[in-house]
A and B are shown apart, each in its own frame.
Chain A
């Protein structure tokens, strides 16, 4: 490094030269020295890596290879759902089947992007998602394998992929969380439009960057049209809606009386109850049951990764989650709606059928890009 680098003292002046030449100088000056850093800058890597569609090897894999992998790593699960919520169920699966699992927890969007980037090199065998949108994106990229008909038939038509590569595991109802000390019995909203009333100016909370809010807006767009969605969002803004990072934050604000009500999903109330104690909880869930976007039931779901070499084990895990044990676990522990007939809804909740969920194909909720543009336009993110 000595000697050769004593050149001029002129400073690079323009931005573009700086960035461009930094890359160039680094790449060229280090032509033979970059051994430690793979693929200097990634030239020749323009070939897009995508999942190979649908070619999962049910029962066709090399037994010995599979056995070796079981011992080493276990079935690799990418979980976009939180560890506290699903780990006990996954442990129970291992106990019952002796199939070891190796679980990565992360945020659904980041894990989805990770899997898309990994393509057919992905170590993942099974994907557990917090929402339908992520599963749809993976399905469209060919990263999820088609599921057997018996599995698909376990859940209702509207709660599985149109092209058969994912199923819903649980249902999540849209609610208006209210603080009954601030909202009297007669003032309770019965439709989502009611929250636009001047009476609630500055008193309504939402979490616009949250996937569940975006799915809700998408539902308005799909059910009532773009104009209705825009009108509703404009109404929120005009009514000085309060924005929060997450649904939990909205609920905490409702519970503390900072605001009167919030548009969230139903199960956050139970998380908060577990933390502060049920007797200290003020907020309540209000189910609209009006057949509109306000009574939307979204899902969490799962699929088998198409590049898996352990399709059978992955399928076994999916079947376990849809079994009575799995579904009861979700109903009791995460307070979500079970998707399979014959398993009871969580205690104290209206039944799934009574929710009057809008007649809507969940895969129609994949137009998130337009929703996001709309949310941006009205200035909510």
Chain B
């Protein structure tokens, strides 16, 4: 039952879509839907999403393989660097790129910026999965004379599929609903047109209709991702514990390997940081208003921190349910949490205005409302983490506890939650990061007079006071870097955090900590 609450939260904006659409003249609705331009833009949006996802997968998987399998120096540092782009808002990245390379505007720019901002969503689960993968198969393959590259294609990659697909899902949803980066880079997507049509007419109907179309596309993507989880079995079978994987000497590939990782870090982190420096050095508007900055940091921490906790509390039941039970209802509940994720933020914001002014006016423009809004937006990030880590702990522990007479509540508290703790921490950190950067919903719903870093950044760049904006942008990245660092750290020594994003339920078991769960691994793989 608690899982239902989360699902209701997530589909609340869809309720609003229905209400607004029901008010409107059906002919107008239809005209909006079949307008050639709507369809054209839907095409260009999907095209962008597919390309960005593909590029992110290449970057994320490539980086994960090099960092986890290659014999690199400073692996720990590379791991953190590969996760850090999550701390940089995509609109800041977009801005840096367009100032540095104006010609990049358009499709190319959108692909470059969004891929560089989003690839950690693929990198993190893939690296985590690689870390847990039993190297025996890869070693067998190589010992039989198959090259490193062919081994990667034929042995490693298929086993990583669920982790990669989970990350790819988040990337594609992010790309579909992004507004800031594509508008700065001047590439027309569906979401951008929703904002524009809405700006022009102040009429919510077209925006709502278009959002409905976007929800359908999301549904297709979510279902497609579920398909890739498929029926294949990924878990290790048999008894014994998997060894930690050994590093593969890079040989002649050493220079290209360092080079490509370095380039990736420079493009995704270096350029935005340089831009901050440039803003500070050339601008004249840079008086540092310290109390204001402190207030904005406080506001950001309260909203993003609170939002992360609330989102995780809502996500826990859904994630645990999806990890332990199969069947239509848990599956639907879990997937329902994704649907709200692709609705443009402005529509989510208005739907919450709609519901609160009618049914909970006391909550209107209050901190709890913003936290609730973040939950609607970011549930998938948290649900995925919980599900992945809960699925990795063998249910035998819970079964034993129950058979020894523990009440279900005690089992949850003493067994299930502690085992899922790394995933809970990772999910909370991801939501925190996303909430720090969130602007649209925050602007509409924040308590009057409350400041956040993102709001200040928006306000200052609006008047092109870039030097005044720079401290806010820098602090936004700095505060975000802390949880990102925790996400990207090499956790080899501590037994391995599970996939920090949605993760791969079927690559189950951190066997170095739980010896001999062989038969249960089979059990779990069968369930998925």
Contacts and interface: CB of A to CB of B under 8 A. Distances in A.
Co-assembled chains A and B: yes
Interface string A70-102: 000100100000111100000000000000001
B15 A42 contact: yes
Contact of B328 (A7, A35, A102): A7
Interface residues of A, number: 86
A373 to B, nearest CB: 9
B180 to A, nearest CB: 10
B8 A34 contact: yes
Given A106-B444, A275-B284, A372-B196, A30 B1 contact: yes
A20 to B, nearest CB: 10
Interface string B442-478: 0110001100000000011011111100000000000
Interface string A271-298: 1101111000000000000000000000
B23 A46 contact: yes
Contacts of A34: 4-5, 8
A308 interface: no
Contacts of B100: none
Contact of B282 (A25, A209, A276): A276
B383 interface: no
B328 A369 contact: no
B358 A33 contact: no
Q: How large is the interface on B (under 10, 10 to 19, 20 to 34, 35 or more residues)?
A: 35 or more
Contact of A30 (B5, B354, B359): B5
Interface string B308-350: 0000000001001100011111111101100100000010011
Contacts of B233: none
B298 interface: no
B355 A1 contact: no
A40 B8 contact: yes
A372 B200 contact: yes
Given A25-B329, A26-B4, A133-B202, A39 B350 contact: no
Nearest to A120: B357
Interface in A3-17: 5-12, 15
B355 A38 contact: yes
B443 A22 contact: no
Contacts, number: 236
B199 A7 contact: no
Contact of B8 (A19, A26, A113, A133): A26
A103 interface: yes
Chain B interface secondary structure, helix, strand, loop or mixed?
Answer: helix
A275 B285 contact: yes
B122 interface: no
Interface in B221-242: 222-223, 226-227
Contacts of B8: 26-27, 30, 34, 37, 40-41
Given A1-B3, A82-B462, A15 B284 contact: no
B327 A9 contact: yes
B331 A11 contact: yes
Contact of B444 (A8, A40, A114): A114
Contacts of B14: 19, 23, 41
B463 A271 contact: yes
Interface centre among B196, B197, B204, B220 (most CB of A within 10 A): B196
Contacts of A23: 11, 14-15, 336
B198 A113 contact: yes
B353 interface: yes
B19 interface: yes
B328 A8 contact: yes
Nearest to A4: B329
B464 A248 contact: yes
Interface in B194-219: 196-204, 215-216, 219
* 3 A-B pairs with least C-beta separation: A30-B4, A41-B15, A137-B202
